[in-house]
Structure 1
């Protein structure tokens, strides 16, 4: 049987079997989500995103805020970085794609995932956006660096710009106002890249600039490719910015897709994509502080000491070592971006973290496909998530999928949308000052 008929036959089976999955479930946000019993089946529930153009539509924002598309026709924008002079760097690229198919599920899942992505070829570049006069229109657009390898994570330390490609951490010299790299990238260290089932390499710099933290995803759902394929994966590395020396900072994190440093505490935080194929309401993706030396469970346990005995060989002792995450975002939300807010964002959105939810593919009823705000109090999450940028789905269609989120300290949230290839900017609506009337005296 050729590949195409085999795919069609498997998809027909998947459509029938996925209808048996559970689509209902209680709210799963917060530090103590309700965890249902696992649901095992031949094929997990799946729903194609069914992409469509935005047309006259726009994402929705809370009252008192406005959203603008500051760049369109990008080449798969993933993460962004606001530079000190207000310029915005956008990493564009698409990695992975070389993971061998080891189960029929892999073939079916690959088809469903691809249907919900852009057909545009990844740019493998950094694009710089500039608003020269500060009016909110980014009229300047130049390619800062090209011929990279699926760039994703970005960090600026002094006059050095660090970029996490899918296979390496590199750096460029940077001077304020620069619109193009002055030379080729310099290798800091190589990153695990064999198979690259989860290819994105997230990045954050320590406040003192001495260390770089790199998030490296697993090569499988629960180790079905063998644990040898997971060597130095499903973890966060700490990299010496000067020498490139690496060490394991935290482990057992299935796919840490975005990293950030919390202002005031200097604490590293991450958003994480958890495992699949246990039902529509397992396992919760999460937002968590990342503790040095901690083990977060993958693949042997989830959400603390909940064992996943699908993993073979199973290691019982690892269950008891598992650290419970701080905050559940809900199952299959697929968080790909995180950034702490600032007072300039205003009102209820001044203290907390914005999270970009790329959206599910393995549920009957899709979830995610929006940017939420998780309020903080006393340095910790406190309360339910609030929709901040929504409206990415409607009438059975999907118009965009949020990835990276970045807070401009001047008062704007920058959101990369890798389905419509757009960069969105959300700002508080500034009230015009009342006109001053001169008195006769």
Structure 2
């Protein structure tokens, strides 16, 4: 075992021990889920809990566990850290393959964190490409694989509007001409629509408006709670609206620490997102969340969370705190909820209208959570019941290894549910059993 691995484990053990001491009289914590979650009081961590499973990958023939009445198969395997999925009108499936890149090390904890992230296959040399997958014979497995685009800069979000294909690189949004049925776009002559600051939370999700006139982009914060000052966070922790006719852009909603998945609720036409909340306050404090997004809305980061609950570690702005909106639905603490898509009733047997969420699983917990695909039912444009599992089994029972980690979710060309698994290097396909 290398020195870096030993050092990372020592720091993780110290952090876990500190959390155990703080929680030893609490008993098991109820997970903060739903519209009215029970969120424990904040317990700031001097040494943050650092716990992450070792990336193991899937053995031959092994798959995640589908909920009763469902089945799962590998739509594609042998990819390189696939994170996001976009389906083209002709049925081709695109997946963005990208990876976090090592950042600066300023402390012993940074060193331990980087070593742990490497062990978990969460950081390394990024593939920086988009791969095209085609299931021409309709058997639920992609037999064609093409390099659709390469030489990108940590690509993530993708959108097609008319004959223009948009890519959310970590440093901005690029537009390229696209012809129906094309299996490749050369990465030359791309037109830049917006510039974003790279680093920190690097993913840049994209979602076109139903009328094709606007593009929405999620941009996460640089840091956990603006430790480098608010000037470094300018233009971050927000959702942008890009006007494709005028080329202008504006911040549509702010105070969202890391808004990743974006989806439209079709009956109301309202934008929804899933957000990763801050670390260092406890296993369930605060929870990640699913929320509708109001034009001009402020959702609290970094000053407060779940409405107006103040984070005492942060220099305050009382005027902004007074405007903070409460999210709609809690998704559990540190679940790293990233993927989001609308799933119409009947897509999977027994499932009504609702949102599907890819919970990647996070590190700042004494007992791991996430590492699954969950479904939140909707009625009259709002969450209407408890969440239920679609896929589990990404994490070993002893929490020491992850076979996979789910990220992006979308409805496939054949009406199945597709899931990007970045540790498992696969795209999973879920249908009725």
Task: Place the TM-score, normalised by the shorter chain, in its bin.
Answer: over 0.9
C-alpha distance after superposition, 1:187-229 (max 9, x if no partner): 23243224x1111111111111111111110111111111111
SS in 1 for 2:66: coil
Aligned to 2:377: 375
Preserved CA contact (<8 Å) 1:95 1:166: no
Greater Rg, structure 1 or structure 2? 1
Preserved CA contact (<8 Å) 1:342 1:407: no
Aligned to 2:70: 65
Q: 1:67 to 1:302 in 2, by over 3 A?
A: same
Aligned to 1:300: 303
Aligned to 1:432: none
Aligned to 2:176: 172
Aligned to 1:257: 260
Aligned to 2:364: 362
Aligned to 1:352: 354
Preserved CA contact (<8 Å) 1:358 1:401: yes
SS in 1 for 2:71: strand
SS in 2 for 1:112: helix
Aligned to 1:80: 85
Aligned to 2:102: 97
Aligned to 2:114: 110
Distance 1:307 1:111 in 2: 32
Q: Which runs of 5+ in 2 are unaligned?
A: none
Distance 1:371 1:4 in 2: 30
TM-score, normalised to structure 2, is: 0.92
C-alpha distance after superposition, 1:40-94 (max 9, x if no partner): 2321222221222321421111222211112112121010011111110001112
User: 2:153 matched to 1:149?
Assistant: yes
SS in 1 for 2:130: strand
Distance 1:128 1:177 in 2: 11
Aligned to 1:20: 21
Aligned to 2:131: 127
Aligned to 1:36: 40
Alignment of 1:159-238 (within 5 A): 159-181=163-185, 184=188, 186-194=190-198, 196-238=199-241
Q: 1:224 to 1:102 in 2, by over 3 A?
A: farther
SS in 2 for 1:111: helix
SS in 1 for 2:21: coil
Q: 1:227 to 1:120 in 2, by over 3 A?
A: closer
Compute the displacement of 1:119 (Å).
6.9
Distance 1:281 1:267 in 2: 28
RMSD: 2.1
SS in 1 for 2:114: helix
TM-score, normalised to structure 1, is: 0.91
Distance 1:374 1:234 in 2: 24
Preserved CA contact (<8 Å) 1:333 1:360: yes
Q: 1:187 to 1:164 in 2, by over 3 A?
A: same
Distance 2:425 2:238 in 1: 29
Q: Which residue among 270, 274, 280 is the counterpart of 1:271?
A: 274
Preserved CA contact (<8 Å) 2:176 2:191: no
Distance 2:81 2:5 in 1: 27
Preserved CA contact (<8 Å) 1:59 1:390: yes
Aligned to 1:336: 338
Preserved CA contact (<8 Å) 1:18 1:46: no
SS in 1 for 2:322: helix
SS in 2 for 1:321: coil
Distance 2:163 2:248 in 1: 20
